[in-house]
Copies of this chain bind each other. A is one copy, B any other.
Amino acid sequence: MSFSAIFIISFITGLTYFLRRFMGDCQLERPLVLGPVVGLVLGDFRTGLEVGASLELVFMGAQAIGGSVPSNVAIGSALGTAIAITSGTGLEGAMMVAVPVAVVASTFEMFAKTFCAFSVHLADKYAEKGDWKGISLMVHAGNIFHFLAYFIPTLLALYLGDQYVTDLMNAVPANIMSGIKAVGSLLPALGFGLLLNNLSTREFMPYFFIGFAIAAYIPSFGVMGIAFLGIAYVALYAFRKLNQEEEA
Categorize the interface residue count of chain A: 20 to 34
Cβ–Cβ contact B239 & A213, under 8 A: no
Report the copy number of this chain in the oligomer.
3
Alpha-carbon separation in the docked complex, A190 to B214 (Å): 31
A215 to B: closest C-beta gap in Å: 11
- What per-residue 1/0 map shows which CB atoms of A203-235 lie under 8 Å from chain B? 101110110011001101100010011011101
Cβ–Cβ contact B229 & A213, under 8 A: yes
Contacts of A207 in B (CB 8 A): 232, 236
Kindly list the 8 A-B residue pairs having the minimum CB-CB distance in the complex, ordered from nearest: A206-B232, A209-B232, A206-B235, A203-B239, A206-B236, A217-B225, A210-B232, A213-B229
Chain A residues packing against B (C-beta within 8 Å): 202-203, 205-207, 209-210, 213-214, 217-218, 220-221, 225, 228-229, 231-233, 235-236, 239, 243
